[in-house]
Amino acid sequence: MNETKRWFVVRTHPNGEFKALTHILRQGFDGYLPRYIKRRRHARKTDNVQKPLFPGYLFVGMDPERARWRALNSTVGVSELICHSGLPAPVPDNVIDDIRRHEDASGYVILGDRAGLRKGDKVRITEGSMADHIGIFDAPSDQHRVFLLLDLLGRQVRVKMPMAALAPAS
């Protein structure tokens, strides 16, 4: 028998991610709801709230050969388990690891300009052919990449790098 746990996607009811996660865990499944902190302003008050990274979805870890996965479709807060040809559709293995790599110590995913970098900060590239080069943070590009200024061949060049490949330079 296949005893390997895989990750699958569950669609939740609107704003039902946290409720669905509670009930999925209660049934003995592994659940993962990637979250981030969003700054919210309302009525002259600003506060931080946790929000799902993928509104309306969360991940369930299970072995579909052994788990009673059909029960997920009748779980409180769950709309449906995403299936393909009648079987749960697995998420590629590296997706969950990649999301977790972007989490801070509190378990919240760090997005773009929220990663604590400011224009002019020195950063060290930790991966790829440019590993160990020092650059200067210039600006966020999108949720996963940033622009850096690197000294190459005697001049400053603007390059786009994945956020996960950077660390603060000491």
pLDDT tens, 78-134? 999 999 899 999 998 788 988 898 888 888 887 654 456 778 888 888 877 788 888
Q: Which residue from 161, 34, 51 is spatially nearest to 102, judged by alpha carbons?
A: 34
Element holding 40 (H helix, E strand):
strand 35-42
| Edge-to-edge order in the sheet of strand 134-140 | 155-162, 145-152, 134-140, 122-125, 166-168
Domain count, the chain: 2
CATH number of the domain enclosing 103: 3.30.70.940
Q: Both 102 and 135 in a single domain?
A: no
Range of the domain at 18: 6-110
The CATH code of the domain that includes 148 is 2.30.30.30
DSSP 33: -
In this structure, are 68 and 151 located in the same domain?
no
Residue 114 burial (C-beta neighbours within 10 Å; 0-12, 13-18, 19+): middle
Query: Average pLDDT, whole number, for the chain?
Result: 85
Evaluate whether residue 1 is within a structural domain: no
Residues 85 and 127 in one domain: no
pLDDT at 20: 97
36 shares its domain with 47: yes
**Boundary (domain end) residue, out of 110, 128, 156:** 110
Longest dimension (CA), the chain: 63
Is 162 within 8 Å of 110 (Cβ atoms)?
A: no
Q: Which of 22, 102, 29, 111 is nearest to 70 (CA)?
A: 29
pLDDT above 90 for 142 = no
Contact 73, 88 (CB under 8 A): no
Whole-prediction pTM value? 0.64
119 and 164 belong to one structural domain: yes
Structure tokens at 57: 């979805």
SS3 content of the chain, % helix, strand, coil (to 5): 20, 45, 40
